[in-house]
Amino acid sequence: MNVPARQTGPRILTVTPNPAIDITYTVGRQTLGETVRVADVRRRPGGKGLNVARVLRTLGRDATSLQPLGGDAGDWIARTLAADGIPVAPCRIAGETRTTVAIVDGIAHPTLFAEPGPRVTAREWAGLCETVSRNAGPGDWVVVAGSFPPGIAATDVGALILAARSRGARVVVDTSGPPLLAAAAAGAAIVKANEQEMRDAVGGTDTHEALAQLGRHGSDVVVSRGSRGAAMRLADGTVHEQIAVPGVHGNPTGAGDAATAGLVAALADGRDPIIALRWAAVCGAAAVLSAVAGELDPALLPELGTRIGLAADSSPLPAGPERSPS
């Protein structure tokens, strides 16, 4: 699928290093060791970067998705994204794109079965980096989100970040483990993870120390903490706390991806980072109220925003009568 011509203002590109076909099974109750009848099945292109792209589209942004795709599963993802109106710049690989399965019952926390994904050769990874370089430009935002394929080293992560930065783009990386450290060292503008992922990445137990370690190369660092909200450490060392939107309960799967989308949408609009962090909290809360990861109802955003003191005119929704806050 051809990538559309550059529009005015910064573009947003999402990179999903290890995409998947996401299957969600809705069941009456999760039970190990027994036959469980599935009440509903949903299949769609998945991976954190694609969830981010989907929410950005809901917010009225044109986000081009880049990801290595292989086999029949990769072909299905490309066709489905095109049918959904999400621009795709695919990179072909020899391996078969993976599948993940989420079990949801509305009682316990969803159970996720995630395949590791195919190995990507050095030549294929170079092709992904070239695709990023070819599509990114000065002032654009490149969001790299999700796990990395098996065998990818810190130098490979760095090459991906450099491909975007060399074109003048700003890079946001939402991942875990060694790739999180590699992204910070490579000069990502923002690195993001949940609290446990961040602590594990630096090998410590103190969240503020983890923030400092990840920010020592100049990145802003965002940590999500579920019902306890989030925090952002800016490059100057200041830390800003953000409470979660109160009174929200539901399915947390994909809430972090929606938060990333809200953060980037606000930053692309030129919002202050602290206001952008608040809109990340609002979009994450709206996603919790959705049954499926990577979806939210934009009509909920203004009211959720008022719960944490956000003015309606700072909304990440685009101006216009069809999306104007009531």
Active site residues: 257
Kindly tell me the number of DSSP H helices and DSSP E strands found in the chain.
Answer: 10, 13
Contact 118, 148 (CB under 8 A): no
Q: Which of 153, 218, 140 is nearest to 182 (CA)?
A: 153
Alpha-carbon gap, residue 167 to 47, rounded angstroms: 25
- Alpha-carbon distances of 142 from 150, 155, 167, 268, rounded to whole Å: 22, 18, 11, 11
How many Cβ atoms sit within 10 Å of the Cβ of residue 93?
23
Return the C-alpha torsion angle 259, 265, 271, 272, nearest 10: 30
Strand-pair partners of 141: 12, 170
- Strand pairing category for 38-46 and 98-104: unpaired
